[in-house]
Amino acid sequence: MTAPTDARAPVAAPEDFSSLLKTRGLYPQPPVVAFPSSISHLPSPLTHATTILAFKYADGVLVAGDRRATAGNVLVYDRADKVLEIDQHSLMAIAGVPATAWEMARVLEHSFQFYRRSQLAEMSLEGKVRALSKLLRDNLGAVLQGIGIVVPIFATYDHAAAAARLYFYDAMGAQFEAADYAATGSGSPAVRSVLHYENTWGKKPLVKLREEDAVLLALRALDTAAESDTATGGVDRRGRVYPIIKLIGPAGITTLSEKALAKVFKKHVA
């Protein structure tokens, strides 16, 4: 003999509010759109900016970046600025998601300005380096979701030590000081190979190069990376688009014009 059922027994509650609406017939069903099975599971690709490099030379530090921004196999923009001025003696070069990186650069710039105006003094080098590290660490949630990874390079001139300083970071905010050079982004393996070769077996180590030779090396490194990495623009010969190259020295930051870069490129590379 079976036990009598209790009409008042609780019914299993829906898992969420949307499920509750569906059980009551109050949730409008969206139209079904058919996609090919090969692409229906693919997420929309994010825009990424690569490749960047920096190295110390005779008069300070050179920071360069190609101009290409991509989203998957799509070329989004061919004139992206990946080398950003933070203050009169500091640069941040970006590789990764530009929206996140540019916001980090703006926060850094305002943080340095606020400290300067409130304390009537420049923020210490250690403070600047750690400020960027904290921004990267605070962005860890987005990194774990795969939507906001940034792997930057930070370069500055330390007047107290009368020397250029160069740092690179991982996506979680760990900082590393580079002795001679640094490169990040999808084309960085090729760039690091070129810089290592020149620094080890070239006519001069990187720190003894004069300005024109340093600029020439940066152009050659980015152009080499572009040969094997589709996300790196290198030098666009047809569109006459050249990388962004900035120099940091005791007097501050110098931005090289496209005309000056074209002259060096045509004379020594092309």
Question: Which sequence positions are flagged as catalytic?
Answer: 50
Rounded to whole angstroms, the Cα distance separating 66 from 241 reads 9
Beta strands in 159-251 (DSSP E): 163-169, 175-177, 181-184, 244-249
Question: Are 92 and 86 a contacting pair, CB within 8 Å?
Answer: yes
Give the 3-state secondary structure of residue 250: coil
DSSP 53-108: EEEEETTEEEEEE---EEETTEEEES----EEEEETTEEEE--B-HHHHHHHHHHH
Burial of 225 (0-12, 13-18, 19+ CB in 10 A): buried
Please provide the size of the chain in residues: 270
